[in-house]
């Protein structure tokens, strides 16, 4: 897979871990921390994967899902969140995310998503 990976999360420590894995795989991963950064990444294009921490409050990533899906070559959309927050997981599925999973599964598969 080529193209950028966008990572929407407010957790800077976890982002650093993900970024190191992506870098070691030769991937360009960028943290999205606000709506302006998401707009810039959308305008720039070249995005292969968008990963969203459903606990992040800095960007309404669910609202962006339809916009990403409407592009000529939509990126893979992945969402993860607390297993007890069934409403957020359901909302991500309804918004069109390709994969929705609990935090534990995402953390176990981190290397896969960073490559």
CA distance 103 to 17: 15
What pLDDT, on a 0 to 100 scale, did the predictor assign at position 1?
63
CATH 3.30.70.1290 fits 4-114, yes or no: no
Domain ranges, ordered by start, for the chain: 4-114
3-state secondary structure 74-114: CCEEEEEECCCCHHHHHHHHHHCCCEEEEHHHHHHCHHHHH
pLDDT in tens, the chain (115 residues): 679 999 999 999 989 999 999 999 999 999 998 889 999 998 998 999 999 999 988 888 888 898 898 888 899 999 999 898 899 899 999 999 999 999 999 999 989 999 9
For residue 99, CA distances in Å to 24, 68, 69, 75, 95 come to 24, 14, 13, 12, 11
- Give the pLDDT of residue 12: 92
């Amino acid at each position: 897979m080529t193209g950028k990976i966008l990572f929407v999360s407010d957790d800077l420590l976890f982002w650093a871990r993900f970024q190191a894995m992506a870098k070691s795989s030769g991937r360009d991963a960028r943290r999205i921390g606000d709506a302006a950064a998401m707009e810039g990444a959308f305008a720039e294009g070249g995005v292969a994967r968008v990963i969203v921490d459903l606990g992040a409050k800095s960007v309404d990533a669910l609202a962006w899902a339809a916009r990403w899906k409407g592009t000529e070559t939509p990126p893979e959309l992945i969402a993860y969140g607390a297993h007890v927050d069934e409403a957020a997981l359901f909302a991500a599925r309804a918004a069109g995310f390709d994969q929705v999973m609990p935090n534990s599964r995402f953390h176990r598969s981190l290397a896969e998503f960073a490559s």
